[in-house]
Amino acid sequence: MFPASFGYHAARSVEEALDLLTKYGEDAKLLAGGHSLIPAMKLRLASPRYLIDLGTIPGLGGIRIDGDALTIGALTVHADIVSSDLVRRRVPALSDAAGVIGDVQVRNRGTIGGSVAHADPAADFPVILTALNASFVAVSPSGSRVISVDGFFVDFYTTALAPNEVLTEIRVPLPPSSAGTAYHKMAHPASGYVVVSAGALVNRDSSGRCASARIAIGGLGSGPLRAQATEAALQGQRLTDDVMAAAAAKAAEGSDPADDVYASAEYKSHMATVLARRAIEQAAQRATS
């Protein structure tokens, strides 16, 4: 399939991209790696009259430590997150997640900003960024704002970003050395997208008990789900196998997954408990190593 014809603008700065967005309004779409937008255009699910390419703007990619956060430019491709020593050392769950996205071509072109802005319910980054309590920097003609992950993913393919905003940065609070992170995924065998996935951030106190935990599950609804019953069951507990298994068994509580041709709702709920347990155990183990 071929997309409908469109005009193309290679933006040279965020300001120019914002001016073009203001000029064209609903007729325009931002283009990052194109690995979600172009397929949607080929299927005529999206037919923007203008594409505003962000890939030509210098400085929108890259990974650095900024104060107490790991800051990732929106145009950073998945492969750069996989291969970053900094990410692997400080927030290994982000490497885990980036490394299981699609295939090598997708990881070389797709961007973290495009992934979260697209908000596919079967995407990997929204889940792990929820567990990591990330925030998102959005710039519009009236200035910039920071959006917390807990209010960012609004519905299927819908985020809190306004149509005239460009996402420029993702900020991940650096976990303390007493904390570990992990991400586990059951991938669809045909598409590679998430059937169910789980991300975990587990922080231990000096006695080895769980000081705090954030657990997120993907694949059970319109976006990432905080497994709050699991988090509560870990809080203050010694992280024994029994405690982690009992907490993980609550991972699907409060969700209402749908049956689909590949997996029933019951199977997805069960896999959420299995993957949550793997993620919690690995995060707890990384917290001590």
Please choose, out of 27-35, 176-184, 265-273, 280-288, the segment that lies near ligand FAD by the rule CB under 6 A.
27-35
**By CB under 6 A, residue 218 contacts ligand FAD:** no
- Pick the closest to residue 73 from 174, 173, 161, 168 (CA basis): 168
**By CB under 6 A, residue 276 contacts ligand FAD:** no
Of 11, 18, 21, 32, which one interacts with ligand FAD (CB under 6 A)?
32
Q: Three-state DSSP class for 96? A: helix
**By CB under 6 A, residue 201 contacts ligand FAD:** no
Which residues between 179 and 198 bind ligand FAD (CB under 6 A)? 192-193
Q: Cα Rg for the chain, rounded, in angstroms? A: 19
Of 11, 37, 234, 287, which one interacts with ligand FAD (CB under 6 A)?
37
- 110 or 175, CB closer to ligand FAD? 110
DSSP 201: E
List Cβ neighbours of 167 (8 Å cut-off, separation of 6 or more): 74, 113, 116, 117, 136, 137, 138, 161
DSSP 289: -
Of 21, 33, 214, 234, which one interacts with ligand FAD (CB under 6 A)?
33
CA separation for the pair 31, 50 (Å, rounded): 10
- 36 or 230, CB closer to ligand FAD? 36
Q: How far is the CB of 161 from ligand FAD (least distance, A)?
A: 6
List Cβ neighbours of 108 (8 Å cut-off, separation of 6 or more): 77, 78, 79
Size of the site for ligand FAD (CB under 6 A): 31
Which residues between 90 and 149 bind ligand FAD (CB under 6 A)? 101-102, 106, 110-111, 113-115, 117-118, 120, 123-125
The strand pairing partners of 144, in sequence order, are 139
**By CB under 6 A, residue 29 contacts ligand FAD:** yes
The strand pairing partners of 217, in sequence order, are 198, 225
For Cα atoms 134, 135, 137, give the angle at the middle one, nearest 5 degrees: 145
Residues within the interface to ligand FAD (CB under 6 A): 29-37, 39, 54, 74, 101-102, 106, 110-111, 113-115, 117-118, 120, 123-125, 161, 166-167, 192-193
